[in-house]
Structure 1
Amino acid sequence: MHKLPQHDRLPPYDRLELYGGLSRRQRDRLLTAAVHNDLRLVLDDPAKRYCAAVQAVHTVRERDRRLVNGLTKEIAVSRENWRDAVITAGEWLLSVPGCKPIDRAVVLDLWLAEQGLCPLVHYAFDRWYEIGSYGRALPPDVVDDLVELSTTFLFRLVDTDIPGYEGLRHIGTGAYSHVYRSPSGGSVFKVPRNLAARAFAAHDEYLAGRHAARSPLATFLPRDLGWDPATSVIEREFIPGTAGVDLLLRADFRKAPFAIDQLEELYQAACAVFADDGVNFDIHPGNIKWNHETGRWMLVDLGPMPTIGADYFPRDSFARYFSKIWFDLHDLMLTVPIRSLDIDVAGRDS
């Protein structure tokens, strides 16, 4: 097997640069969302975090520009040197006495935003990701992973509209796309609903699906039927059945889950692809359907997850995976409702 062709994917710098093409209001919203998420390190309450995020951005932008101006003066950012520039900026901020992690994150994000580049989130999956290494060598792919994570989540906040599907039956909405049933009923159209999907996520899903079709996962996948590069719309075989997350609501399934051997085969195939190629399929019960007609589990959402957070899925034991990702799901939703990022600033003007 081969890794996803990187030359076909939108490069990290191009993903960052999408930020510069947004309106001022959209840019401010994404900047606030990044800080709002990172403040989870010290504040749990979402309303308090939002107010603190707005205040933090205002303070650095309007009243205390010393550090932002220092970065701008010392470091020039270009397509050729952007990784080194971001690492240098992180190191520079680490050398400032009394500058705390949250302060460094806000200054770095505002500096990036003023260069027309997307801010970076620093807190995800209960970990703080520092840009900088206190003088130690920092692998460039650490920065690439943060760019992948940050743009994937933040650009979901920028709505987009792809006309032409209004007359079709709407059967669902996910993080990236609206899903419509084709007139014949044999396929579905995944139509981008935000900038992340329109600019790169849908294309990455299409590439991942083609890649997986040449892997042991192939027998668990719907057929790819089309890709429109002009709109980033994916057409895929419609799979009837019941999502795993809905089966978990049934007492009979929780008591005696069926086709476990087959589900373990799907799990092992997805883990093998991740181990060999780093493609992280979201093997979550909301993305896996039981097809009653064929008696098979099917992975119906092929969007690859960012590298950061890939260890959310236990990779060394199907029993641990099934317990954590399936049976512990509802308890986790109540006790740990935010397991990745919290960028929900919808409806609030920043």
Structure 2
Amino acid sequence: MTTLPDEVLQGHLRHYADFAEADRTRILAAIIKNYGRSVDHSDLDRSTQWHTAIQNLSTNPLTAELVESTARLLSNRAAGPPSKFRARSLLTDIGAAVQQVPVSAEQQLGLALDLHKQGLAPVLTYAFNRWIIPAVEPQAVGRRLAELTVMGLYRLAEADAAATDATLLTSGSAADVIRTGSRVGKHPRNYAAREVLLPLEFANYQALAQTRLHDRIPANADFEPTTKTLHHDYVPGSDGESILRSGFLPNPRQRTDLEYLHSALLRDLPEHRLPLDLHPGNFVWNAAEDRWVLVDIGPIPVIGSEEYFVEDFSAYYTHTWLNRLTREHAEPIRSIDYSVGRM
């Protein structure tokens, strides 16, 4: 599955050169921090070096010079020539380079630094607490990693502060969700949301509205192309995350309906090439209709979507719902750590 054509993905990767220096600096700092999470604590020399470097980034104002010098120090990149990337086969070149570079924090950071210095978006190969370098052909590797950058790391570019509106329902890393009467508006907070996530979410609404799942998504979605804001009808009820946090589990009716909806999504989504984020917080139990409604159908990268598309509902339900709070405690950062130091 994929969500963006290759040429569009490549265009977003090249757009990295047009970001403000502060945005590029934040992204590279986040990559350093995430690679640091891969270093084994039992390797004391490496662990100490990475910990000290990341602490230095966290306690000093982030500047391009500080972040780039830290990346050079950790990767020892000055020892060799930079990788070359051709404009016409960018995804393939990135995938091939990733597969050829040793799987270590230092070596993969060096590749990210090469991309950064050449005005191309760096890719991250350690996320979700694991190395993510699939053994498939290079173009597919490049495509999946590019999706992760554009949908994930680009949340650090052109970012706005969270809204404080009294009708704010939630503020995520991508958008503020604000209710106005019977309508909900999703307002982008960064480049990823504005240029990729919300436009694609609206496309997902249009696609699913034509399927048997039309009554399992919010009604009357529309998209304002100037502000890149998505609107749809408000769905009353408690979301699955709130139910779990209240100390309760879905009741038998809710579990049965969730099994039906999950099976229907698995049946229909591959046909429409839509990897969605099927975690509990995106399902709202509409008591009046006695059914779950999927209120967030924004896209997610293929990398990281695997747990939601397990065909065995019991395995999905146990891992993603019943174990959610336990996993949250054991792994506070389950995808990418976006927290970086001061500018």
TM tier, smaller: 0.7 to 0.9
> Are positions 1:228 and 2:227 aligned together?
no
Partner residue, 1:42: 39
What residue identity is the alignment partner of 2:89?
N
Partner residue, 2:148: 149
Q: Aligned in 2, Cα 1:90/1:333: closer, same or farther, shift over 3 Å?
A: closer
The equivalent position to 2:78 in structure 1, one of 55, 59, 65, is 65
DSSP 3-state at the match of 1:30: helix
Aligned partners of 1:4 and 1:208 also within 8 Å: no
The correspondence of residues 1-350 of structure 1 with structure 2, limited to 5 A, is: 6=4, 11-42=8-39, 50-51=54-55, 54=67, 56-59=70-73, 64-67=77-80, 70-71=81-82, 75-78=84-87, 80-90=88-98, 93=101, 101-130=104-133, 138-161=137-160, 169-182=167-180, 185-251=181-247, 253-254=248-249, 256-313=251-308, 315-345=310-340, 347-349=341-343
Q: Aligned in 2, Cα 1:93/1:247: closer, same or farther, shift over 3 Å?
A: closer
Per-residue CA deviation, residues 115-156 of structure 1 (Å, 9 max, x unaligned), is: 11111011122331349x7xxx83411110100012211111
Displacement, 1:335? 1.1
Rounded Cα–Cα distance in structure 2 between residues aligned with 1:112 and 1:204: 26
Q: Aligned in 2, Cα 1:5/1:333: closer, same or farther, shift over 3 Å?
A: closer
What residue identity is the alignment partner of 1:194?
N
Per-residue CA deviation, residues 153-193 of structure 1 (Å, 9 max, x unaligned), is: 1111224459xx987732221221111122xx121110001
Displacement, 1:319? 1.7
Rounded Cα–Cα distance in structure 1 between residues aligned with 2:2 and 2:144: 15
What residue identity is the alignment partner of 1:348?
R
DSSP 3-state at the match of 2:249: helix
Q: Aligned in 2, Cα 1:309/1:76: closer, same or farther, shift over 3 Å?
A: closer
Aligned partners of 2:3 and 2:275 also within 8 Å: no
DSSP 3-state at the match of 2:184: strand
Aligned partners of 2:3 and 2:274 also within 8 Å: no
Q: Aligned in 2, Cα 1:282/1:104: closer, same or farther, shift over 3 Å?
A: same
Rounded Cα–Cα distance in structure 2 between residues aligned with 1:150 and 1:239: 31
Aligned partners of 1:176 and 1:196 also within 8 Å: yes
Rounded Cα–Cα distance in structure 1 between residues aligned with 2:13 and 2:157: 14
Rounded Cα–Cα distance in structure 1 between residues aligned with 2:232 and 2:53: 40
Aligned partners of 2:36 and 2:51 also within 8 Å: no
Q: Aligned in 2, Cα 1:21/1:246: closer, same or farther, shift over 3 Å?
A: same
Aligned partners of 1:18 and 1:117 also within 8 Å: yes
Displacement, 1:329? 0.9
DSSP 3-state at the match of 2:280: coil
Q: How well do the aligned residues superpose, as a CA RMSD in angstroms? A: 3.1
DSSP 3-state at the match of 1:17: helix
Rounded Cα–Cα distance in structure 2 between residues aligned with 1:262 and 1:335: 29
Per-residue CA deviation, residues 205-261 of structure 1 (Å, 9 max, x unaligned), is: 11112112223322211014311122210011111111111112344x428454322
Q: Aligned in 2, Cα 1:311/1:105: closer, same or farther, shift over 3 Å?
A: same
Aligned partners of 2:188 and 2:229 also within 8 Å: yes
Alignment coverage as a number of residue pairs: 326
Displacement, 1:35? 2.1
Q: Aligned in 2, Cα 1:91/1:340: closer, same or farther, shift over 3 Å?
A: closer
Rounded Cα–Cα distance in structure 2 between residues aligned with 1:269 and 1:31: 40
Aligned partners of 2:218 and 2:232 also within 8 Å: yes
Displacement, 1:337? 1.8
Displacement, 1:328? 1.0
Aligned partners of 2:177 and 2:184 also within 8 Å: yes
Identity of aligned residues (%): 27
Displacement, 1:278? 3.5
Per-residue CA deviation, residues 271-315 of structure 1 (Å, 9 max, x unaligned), is: 223443441221111111111232221110111211012212252
Aligned partners of 1:270 and 1:283 also within 8 Å: no
Displacement, 1:326? 1.3
Structure 2: segments with no counterpart, 5+ residues: 42-46, 58-66
Q: Aligned in 2, Cα 1:118/1:83: closer, same or farther, shift over 3 Å?
A: same
Structure 1: segments with no counterpart, 5+ residues: 95-99
Q: Aligned in 2, Cα 1:337/1:48: closer, same or farther, shift over 3 Å?
A: farther
DSSP 3-state at the match of 1:19: helix
Rounded Cα–Cα distance in structure 2 between residues aligned with 1:259 and 1:247: 11
DSSP 3-state at the match of 1:71: coil
